[in-house]
Chains A and B, each alone.
Chain A
Amino acid sequence: MLYTDERKYLLGIIDDLVKYRLVDCTGGMVAVRCNADHLLFSAAGESFRRWHSGVDDFVVTDNAGKVIERHERGAAAGFLIALELFNQFPLCNAVLHAHSEYSLAFAALDLPVAPAAHLMQTLGEVPCLRAEDQQIKDESSVTHTRSKFPTRWTTAPKLWPSTCNCVPQIEKHFGHRKQELERHGLAFTTYQHGIYVFARNIDEAFNNLARVEASARTHIYSSAILERESRESLH
């Protein structure tokens, strides 16, 4: 089995993501660059199995997405975006995707997450990427995308077009920010879906995910305080 140390480290990361309530059982993905040629992704369906992951619940691919080693299942739904991040950003060595509860509320409303506290200041605003064309899930788009997709990828095909449509927006939002990865990670949400964080290493990606989530939560709670104050001032 390739990259057992990396697999074990990612299992520890998954445990901590669950412990700190940054990932839930509706979806998510962890991925790292193992070396210049190989990437390691958590497998599809790990969240459905409530993150009871083992060392064989990962997929190794090359930089084009070609499978080098897999066991029972293929890569998770966030695979295509993660692959794009690894390829577009040479400094990116780790990607986390989660349906974390507070940032998801912003993603559901197509809103960016602005820094609500000092802990988020370095990352700046987290944009929401939205596929412009709402017809992208048409069968024609699926067919078009399927033809371009890396082989032996097993996640639900209906997710492919919306995922592909976000890819050009990654370049638009982050193409000019590549060097920031030398100092901190970067993050975005996808509309009605969840958050992606990418960074130099998986520990930094984890920390930056926690920061975005804390910021999103603080915005939501602050808004509740302001609303209550406003209501009470009327009485």
Chain B
Amino acid sequence: MLYTEQRTKLISVTSDLIANELLECTGGMLALRVSPDHLLTSTFGAGFRRWRLGLDDFIVCDNEGNVVEKHEHVGPASMLMILELFRMFPSCGAVLHSHAEFSLAFASLDRTMALRQPDLSVSEVPCLRADDQNIKEDYLRNPYPVKVPAAMPYRPEVVAVSQHLLPQLKAKLGHRGEELAGYGLAYTSYRHGLTVLASNIDDAFDAMARIEAQARTYIVGASITGSEALART
């Protein structure tokens, strides 16, 4: 089995994501660049299986999405986006995707989040928008040729959605690659969830935790500032 140490690390990170309420069982994904040629990702349906991961619950693919090592399950449906992130940002070493609860609320409203970093600089977490349902239905009514990476489920309609997101990804994050040396980069997908990329998985975890904390603070703060009791003081 290839990359057992990295698999073990990702299992540990998954446990910590759950323990810190950053990952739930409606979906999510972890991916690592394990060598210049290989990526290691969690598999399709890992959330459905409630993240009970073993060492063989990962897939190794090359930078084009061809399978290098696979066990029972294929890679995640978002494989095209993952491949593009690693391709677009050579210093990106890890990608995390989650339906983390507070940032999902911002994503459901198509809101860009202003993220205050530890050095007090502010960076944006943009929301990429694609009308998933209509794109998928349009594709299934009138299919057109798309290349589905072998490492993901054969879901050409999902690839069609990714193709709508990729130009936005390039426009909104393509010029910000140097931020990967700092606190990482992140974006949300409309009505879907949060994706974080960083130079390594620990930095990606940290970035996700900080984004969620700030989203939570805004939302919980809304309850405080809107309370009548506080307004009377």
Neighbouring A residues of B47 by C-beta, 8 Å: 207
Q: Quick one: which of A1-25 are within 8 Å of B by CB?
A: 16, 19-20
Neighbouring A residues of B132 by C-beta, 8 Å: 118, 121
Known: A117-B104, A118-B133. A222 touches B26 (CB 8 A): no
Asked if B221 and A117 make an inter-chain contact with CB atoms under 8 angstroms apart, the answer reads no
**B7 at interface by CB-CB < 8 Å:** no
Asked if B105 and A218 make an inter-chain contact with CB atoms under 8 angstroms apart, the answer reads yes
- A to B contact number (C-beta, < 8 Å): 80
Bound: A19/B222 CA distance, A: 28
Asked if B26 and A214 make an inter-chain contact with CB atoms under 8 angstroms apart, the answer reads yes
Asked if B225 and A225 make an inter-chain contact with CB atoms under 8 angstroms apart, the answer reads no
Known: A20-B24, A119-B27, A207-B26. A221 touches B219 (CB 8 A): yes
Known: A221-B102, A225-B111. A117 touches B191 (CB 8 A): yes
What DSSP secondary structure best describes chain A's contact surface?
Answer: helix
Known: A206-B50, A231-B226. A214 touches B104 (CB 8 A): yes
Q: Which residue of B lies closest to A122 (CB)?
A: B133
Asked if B50 and A16 make an inter-chain contact with CB atoms under 8 angstroms apart, the answer reads yes
Asked if A225 and B104 make an inter-chain contact with CB atoms under 8 angstroms apart, the answer reads no
Q: Quick one: which of B59-90 are within 8 Å of A by CB?
A: none
Asked if B104 and A231 make an inter-chain contact with CB atoms under 8 angstroms apart, the answer reads no
Known: A16-B50, A231-B226. A119 touches B99 (CB 8 A): yes
Q: A118-B191, A228-B226 are in contact. List 15 more A-B contacts (CB 8 A).
A: A16-B25, A16-B50, A20-B18, A20-B50, A118-B133, A207-B48, A210-B25, A221-B101, A221-B219, A222-B105, A222-B109, A224-B220, A224-B223, A224-B226, A227-B226
Which 10 A-B residue pairs are closest in the complex by CB-CB distance? A221-B105, A228-B222, A224-B222, A117-B191, A222-B105, A119-B26, A224-B219, A221-B219, A118-B191, A16-B50
